[in-house]
Amino acid sequence: MKKIRLLLSRIDRIGDVILSTAIPREVKKKLPGSFIAVLVKKYTKDIYLNNPYIDEIIVFDEAEKSQDKFWSIVSKIRKYKFTHAFMLLPNERLNWILFFSGIPKRIGVGRKLYQFLTFTKFVDRKKYISLRHEADYCMDMVRKIGIEPESIEPEIFLSNEEKIFIEGKRNEYLKDHNFIVGINVTSGNSAPNLPAAEYKKITEKLAADKNIKVVITDNKPPKELLNLEKVEYPNLNSPLRKSILNIAAIDILISASTGPMHIAAALKVKTLSLFCPLTACSPKLWGPLGNESTILLPKNEYCSNHCPGDPKICNYSGDSGIDSSRIIAELNHIIEK
| Average pLDDT rounded to a whole number, residues 266-274 | 98
Q: Is the pTM of this model over 0.75?
A: yes
Which residue segments constitute the domains of the chain, with CATH numbers given? 5-144 (3.40.50.2000), 160-336 (3.40.50.2000)
Residue-wise pLDDT tens digits, 24-63: 999 999 999 999 999 999 999 999 999 999 999 999 987 6
The answer, yes or no, to whether residue 211 has pLDDT greater than 60, is: yes
| The pLDDT of residue 302 | 74
- Whole-number Cα distances in Å, 110 to 8, 98, 100, 153: 17, 16, 20, 24
| The pLDDT of residue 153 | 98
Confidence of residue 126 (pLDDT cuts 50, 70, 90): low
| The pLDDT of residue 318 | 75
